[in-house]
Structure 1
Amino acid sequence: MFDDDREYTVVINGEEQYSIWPVGRDVPAGWYEVGTRGSKDICLEHIKEVWTDMRPKSLRDRMSAPTS
């Protein structure tokens, strides 16, 4: 195993799914930085705290919509 001393940023997409991305590299299309940066461990801990429902936003919306 190698030491990963890179800095990462937490990113989110339109479906409110989270990931991490190395700082200094262009964030892929459709993904946006949320403002949390740091080591991989710090970023993953942030995601663990905020991403409590792993379902994509479109599915959550569909499941919470009133039925006719």
Structure 2
Amino acid sequence: MHKYKFLTNCGVNLKFESKFHIDDLTPVVFTNAVFVRFEDVEIVVKLTEIMNAEVNGVEYQIKSYAV
């Protein structure tokens, strides 16, 4: 299981565990938004609204795909 913590640009913290690693997921790209679906926990993350991410205790900055 992978542990996730996402901080959105509106200050919301998303914390969950998933058997999927984000690198293995295929993003869904729309005109102004990119989403990733963690189907095992039924969570969809809008990457274009994520400021910071933590995966398994390692912090990352998510590249914004917004146009």
**TM-score by shorter chain over 0.5:** no
What TM-score do the two structures reach when normalised by structure 1? 0.32
Greater gyration radius: 1
Greater share of strand: 2
TM-score scaled by length of structure 2: 0.32
